[in-house]
């Protein structure tokens, strides 16, 4: 990490300093693993005991945090409204600094005819860029990435190592796509004939990823059969997620790892989907829906802001009551057996 003073960090975070503002910070750490000249944060009250023993030089805390009078602490305090968000902002600043330092085109790189990239871009070694590709300003394309013909990529987008973007796909501004992800592979479209032989249905559409989207490592987002598979602005996808052809994911929806969404399903905005959730095809999921991990969705969710759990999933309150009974089934069965013998 670059070396900056506590005072400079406080100015970035619009924070108040309690202690020495001239201390130099060149590292970040967990509060329980603090080291000198490092900065950490305290957001969860259960970690408060560590602030009295951490070796970190500075700690981001809430403006309302009151240290215990009988205990001493050494680090400088940086007081903010929300410590966790402030620490995240600091990490984002550091990441941007690192990324901005990478510029230029390494060798070897292949760039097809009529393709172009904007100012301050970085293109790593062994990148393949097809024909008629347009890449915006300040983009970072890391090594061993493949970008197919006619792809459009907006400004300030980062594509990490080994990503594959098939032809005709469109990527917006401020997008991050992590290593190993495949954008625009064929949707799973096959039609059986009279002999039950499956004939492939050509997948002629594309994938559209709007602004401010982040996609984790080793995800697969299939191109549409016709039209577009669409990831709306602000969506955040974890690692190892499958998005099938013609799916649409609404604005600011977040999906955890190992979830799968079958073809032509439309997910609303501001949804939260846990890990290992399965959603069948051709459904509509209302805005604000929350789905617990390992749930299975087999029907439309029409009511906004629903909270679902189970497979098949239903209202989370009903699920929890049902689960209490489910856990007691062996006990109830034994009682029934005993009563049967007495009768």
Element (H, E) at 95: helix 83-100
Active site members = 245
Give yes or no for a contact between 29 and 38, defined as CB atoms under 8 angstroms apart.
yes
Element (H, E) at 285: strand 284-285
Cis peptide before 312 (omega within 30 of 0): yes
Q: What are phi and psi of 109, to 5 degrees?
A: -140, 140
State how far the alpha carbon of 222 is from the alpha carbons of 168, 189, 209, in Å: 12, 11, 12
**Alpha-carbon torsion (32, 38, 42, 48), positive or negative:** positive
What gap in Å lies between CA 137 and CA 157, rounded to an integer?
A: 8
∠ at Cα 218 (214, 220), nearest 5°? 80
State how far the alpha carbon of 60 is from the alpha carbons of 28, 102, 191, 294, in Å: 11, 29, 58, 36
Maximum Cα interatomic distance, the chain, rounded to a whole number of Å: 87
What gap in Å lies between CA 276 and CA 280, rounded to an integer?
A: 13
Q: What is the DSSP letter of 180?
A: T
What gap in Å lies between CA 267 and CA 17, rounded to an integer?
A: 44
Give yes or no for a contact between 143 and 106, defined as CB atoms under 8 angstroms apart.
yes
Beginning with the edge strand found earlier in the chain, give each strand of the sheet holding 110-111 in spatial order: 110-111, 128-129, 146-147, 164-165, 182-185, 220-222, 242-243, 260-261, 278-279, 296-297
Give yes or no for a contact between 299 and 312, defined as CB atoms under 8 angstroms apart.
yes
């Amino acid at each position: 990490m670059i070396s900056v003073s506590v005072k400079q960090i406080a100015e970035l975070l619009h924070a108040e300093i309690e202690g020495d503002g001239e201390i130099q910070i060149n590292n970040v750490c967990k509060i329980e693993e603090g080291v000198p000249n490092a900065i950490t944060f305290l957001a969860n009250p259960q970690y408060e005991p560590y602030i009295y023993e951490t070796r970190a030089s500075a700690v981001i805390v809430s403006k309302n945090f009151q240290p215990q009078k009988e205990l001493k602490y050494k680090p400088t305090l940086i007081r903010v409204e929300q410590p966790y968000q402030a620490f995240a902002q600091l990490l984002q600043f550091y990441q941007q600094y690192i990324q901005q330092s990478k510029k230029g085109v390494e060798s070897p790189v292949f760039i097809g005819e009529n393709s172009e990239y904007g100012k301050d871009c970085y293109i790593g070694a062994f990148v393949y860029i097809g024909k008629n590709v347009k890449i915006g300003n300040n983009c970072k394309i890391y090594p061993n990435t493949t970008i197919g013909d006619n792809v459009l990529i907006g400004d300030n987008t980062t594509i990490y190592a080994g990503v594959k973007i098939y032809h005709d796909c469109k990527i917006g501004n401020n997008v991050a796509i992590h290593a190993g992800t495949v954008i625009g592979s064929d949707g799973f479209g096959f039609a059986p004939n009279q002999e039950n032989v499956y004939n492939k249905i050509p997948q002629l559409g594309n994938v559209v990823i709007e602004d401010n989207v982040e996609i984790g490592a080793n995800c697969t987002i299939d191109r549409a059969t016709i039209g577009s598979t669409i990831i709306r602005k602000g969506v955040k996808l974890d690692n190892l997620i499958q998005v099938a052809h013609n799916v649409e994911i609404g604005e600011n929806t977040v999906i955890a790892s190992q979830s799968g969404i079958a073809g032509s399903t439309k997910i609303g905005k501001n949804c939260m989907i846990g890990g290992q959730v399965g959603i069948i095809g051709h459904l509509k999921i209302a805005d604000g829906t929350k789905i617990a991990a390992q749930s299975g969705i087999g029907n439309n969710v029409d009511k906004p802001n629903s909270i679902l759990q189970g497979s098949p999933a239903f209202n989370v309150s009903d699920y929890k009551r049902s689960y209490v009974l489910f856990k007691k089934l062996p006990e109830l069965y034994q009682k029934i057996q005993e009563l049967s013998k007495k009768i």
